[in-house]
Amino acid sequence: MNPPPVNVVNIENAYLGALMRDGLKPFIPLKPSDFFEPRNADVYAAILALDNEGINCDELVVCKRLREERSTVNEHYVNGLLTSLGFTLFNEAWAASIKNNAQTRYLELQLKNGLKSIQQGESSKHVKEGLERTLRDIQDAEELPKGVEVMPLDKLRVFDRHNDPDCMIGRRWLCKGGSLLIVGQSGVGKSSMMIQMAISWAAGKSFFGIKSQVPRRVLVIQGENDQGDIAEGFQDVRAGFSDWSLEDESTLNQNLNILRVNEKTGEEFADILKAKAVEHAAEFVFVDPLLSYASGNISSTEDMSFFLRKQIAPVLKETGIVLVAMHHTGKPGNPDDKANKTVTDNSYEGIGSSEITNFFRAVMVLSRAEKEEPVFRLLISKRRGRAGLMDRMSEMTDTVYLAHSRKSGEVKWEYATPEQTKKLTNKKSKNKGY
């Protein structure tokens, strides 16, 4: 059997180096015997053993374990795995490549043995049965690591970006399995905005220009508001549509479900998210607020990465739902600092680890536009050119100025008046030197 291309060993080296450099957990379906380079098999066996004992692996503990196992792999070789990796980012596809190459080598070996058996006079039927067992073994082998997806170049070349069947909102702003984070200060009205957005998309209506081509099945999971709080916004938003009809009401009844869920975090919440999304055949799931259901320390990158990427992401992948999560900001900062922030900087207004923002595909930020004025700025800070947000003049934009309903006691959002908007945009232009 010919040796595999040298890049296979390079991939093994990069994978092992990244596991030790970043303190990552190994993908359990990958076995030491899957490695082509024997020294890499020893290193991976040490990493697996440490992981089974609950020990985070790094260069020092791996070398110590290799010495304990009397491996011929020395510290110089292990150090070389990290040195050659440099600052290259970890790639989950490395594990899939190692596994695929191992299965190819196994099949090649069985074919070679089958040919040898025929040459030695064994019956072709016996050899055929052996090869069929080999193929079944490969087909029934442990699954490749979760989260690995191969994207063939031929499919990328012919992908129709203008007619993507997975697109749910905008120009591929939100697609199946995607996510949107809406960040805002406590008490500004994020929950009422959520209800307004949910009703709009469930009925096929526009939310300040952002609209689905068809009504969507929407599920709301929230833990902050009682039935009366939700009812006020629900009633007023419906009444606020000038073209609301009996057909719209029927569509809403079919498409919108609202739940209150408390005392469920982490894996328990992920299980409920999946179960309820499937039960209601949801296409969008609104979660309010995100931190009611997160587990661990919200400021810990490791904890938030585990919650979002290991517990929530698999649900989005399996069900295809779009997750829309409401999230709180931290304490208000220096006004001068806020004025100097770029659009991208605003993505990180949310409290907790930056991993929260990094995980979500799209981000919107709701903030007070003026300290003394009852006007708010809704800004799309991530993937902003794709949403379809429109100002009161029906012009495409990434920022709109909004206000609470001017009607006393009514709970819904509307555009700020032309006078308020002009005042704020003029002030913005003056500050920016336009």
Q: How confident is the model over 184-224, as pLDDT tens digits?
A: 887 788 889 999 999 999 999 999 999 988 999 999 999 98
CATH 1.10.860.10 for domain 6-139, yes or no, is yes
At the top level of CATH, which class does the domain 167-432 belong to?
alpha beta
Q: 194: closest CA among 411, 415, 419, 410?
A: 411
Q: Domain residue spans in the chain?
A: 6-139, 167-432
* Maximum separation of any 2 CA atoms in the chain, in Å: 94
Closest among 374, 378, 380, 365 to 330, alpha carbons compared: 365
- Rg from Cα positions in the chain: 27
Q: What is the mean pLDDT of residues 314-330?
A: 90
pLDDT score recorded for residue 428: 55
More confident residue, 234 or 148: 234
Residue range 231-257: average pLDDT?
92
Best CA proximity match to 326, nearest among 176, 185, 161, 420: 185
Determine what percent of the chain is predicted with pLDDT higher than 90.
47
Inform me whether the pLDDT recorded for 398 exceeds 80.
yes
Query: What pTM value is reported for the model?
Result: 0.64
**Same fold: 6-139 with 167-432:** no
Greatest mean pLDDT among 5-9, 68-72, 384-388: 68-72
Is the predicted pLDDT of residue 340 greater than 70, yes or no?
Answer: no
Query: In sequence order, what are the beta bridge partners of 222?
Result: 260, 288
What the block records as the tokens of 33 is 């015997």
Give me the pLDDT at residue 123, please.
Answer: 60
Q: Are 26 and 41 in contact (CB under 8 A)?
A: no
Q: How confident is the model at residue 121 (pLDDT cuts 50, 70, 90)?
A: low
Q: Is the predicted pLDDT of residue 35 greater than 80, yes or no?
A: yes
